A = this chain, B = another copy of it.
């Protein structure tokens, strides 16, 4: 019996050792969480709190990565975060946007932290010296700041869309951040901008029924979409509206705009009623293979990071190529170099056709101007202007969004092929009109080798525009900042 007892003791001892090994293995594989794993708020976040640093006290890791959107050094081959002058890099666009603010100034996009600074600094918003001065309407602020949902809550949505951009500068000082996408009490993703909610409603859909995975794209789709300002809805208001009622392909949205006879501006050379595509990132993404596989924006632009036993979403919204090991490689088993080069190759091919298409458009605008100058009639030019509008809308849809060459290269190249075809067919017709008016030769391609030359060609007085902007930055913006500081200093922060 003693032996039996010994066996039992040995068995128990072995069980204990095995149990211990299990504990050890678990500790190694799961990595013990640090203390702060449990969410312990430091401050109480108010229901309209626009200050990102206040949120940051409770969510340090998310906030620290969000601050990285200030970093403007990362670049992909053709795109990047740095302040690069897109018009200098490709002055054709100056001609394409003649008569429209984008011809004055257009830079490569930068991170969310720069949103407010950049909209103040760009020549597109001009140099208004009074709250009622243009050129831009208040609606232009909509996507720039968490002060926007705060103001909409405090003053009403329609009220927000009324008046000039210069009238709300003192209210909007915090760059795109926490309140734009999160519910301050639950931290759940939420839609803070009415335009997206309303677009869903008009299609008979309730956005609150969206899945979490859909929400991980929809919070981005509040701003990263095609939109226009509806001047017919409420008097004096430019009501932010998404043109999705017929669908969201390039053809669907064109049909929508054509039916309401909308145009963003009239081209100053060709006299075409033009459409400006904004940045239909969400629409383009949905047309590509990642969108079709229900990969969300956040899956690649906000990859999970594991730090100190915690897993959290990076809020350094940037090209996924910056963190290939945490983005692409979650699904794709190729080297970083291979994956990066795959993206570059697609970008190169699309860039090639983009330039072809832009040259067609430059020629179209100038040849149309020539036809007008020679005495062509409205009737003769009707088809021509329609062709120019359709060509440039397709071009702009293809190039205006971030990462279109990655998100949906096949759809983008299909659209570009269509656009080159429409534009060129229009040039054939224009050649006949020009011949009729005695000009039967090639109109020489203009010297637009620099931004300055292109801006001179379309008649912009850049010296004046720059001087107005400097005056505005010197006299108006400092006042805005003082007023904002005074307002925010009154908001108490409750600490736990």
A177 CB, nearest partner CB in chain B, Å: 36
CA distance A350 to B417 in the complex (A): 10
A329 CB, nearest partner CB in chain B, Å: 15
Docked complex: A1-42 residues within 8 A CB-CB of B: 3-4, 7
CA distance A289 to B420 in the complex (A): 26
Assess whether B411 is in contact with A349, with CB atoms less than 8 Å apart: yes
Interface 1/0s, chain A 419-462, versus B by CB < 8 A? 01101110111011001100011100000000000000000000
Interface 1/0s, chain A 342-359, versus B by CB < 8 A? 100010011011001100
* Nearest chain B residue, comparing its CB with the CB of A1: B3
Is A418 among interface residues, defined by CB-CB distance under 8 A? yes
Assess whether B3 is in contact with A417, with CB atoms less than 8 Å apart: no
Is A292 among interface residues, defined by CB-CB distance under 8 A? yes
A248 CB, nearest partner CB in chain B, Å: 16
Docked complex: A308-356 residues within 8 A CB-CB of B: 334, 342, 346, 349-350, 352-353, 356
Assess whether B342 is in contact with A289, with CB atoms less than 8 Å apart: yes
Assess whether A432 is in contact with B424, with CB atoms less than 8 Å apart: no
Residues of B within 8 A of A417 (CB): 353, 356-357, 413, 416-417, 420
Is A360 among interface residues, defined by CB-CB distance under 8 A? yes
Residues of B within 8 A of A441 (CB): 432
Assess whether B435 is in contact with A356, with CB atoms less than 8 Å apart: no
Looking at A414, A420, A425, which has the most chain B CB atoms within 10 Å of its CB? A420
CA distance A441 to B433 in the complex (A): 9
Is A207 among interface residues, defined by CB-CB distance under 8 A? no
Docked complex: A387-435 residues within 8 A CB-CB of B: 409-411, 413-414, 416-418, 420-421, 423-425, 427-429, 431-432, 435
Given contacts A292-B342, A356-B421, A417-B420, 16 further A-B contacts (CB under 8 A): A293-B334, A349-B410, A349-B414, A353-B414, A353-B421, A356-B418, A409-B410, A410-B413, A413-B416, A413-B417, A420-B421, A421-B424, A424-B424, A424-B427, A432-B440, A435-B435
What are 15 contact pairs spanning A and B, CB under 8 A? A350-B414, A353-B414, A356-B421, A357-B421, A410-B410, A416-B417, A417-B417, A420-B420, A421-B424, A424-B425, A424-B427, A424-B428, A428-B431, A429-B442, A432-B441
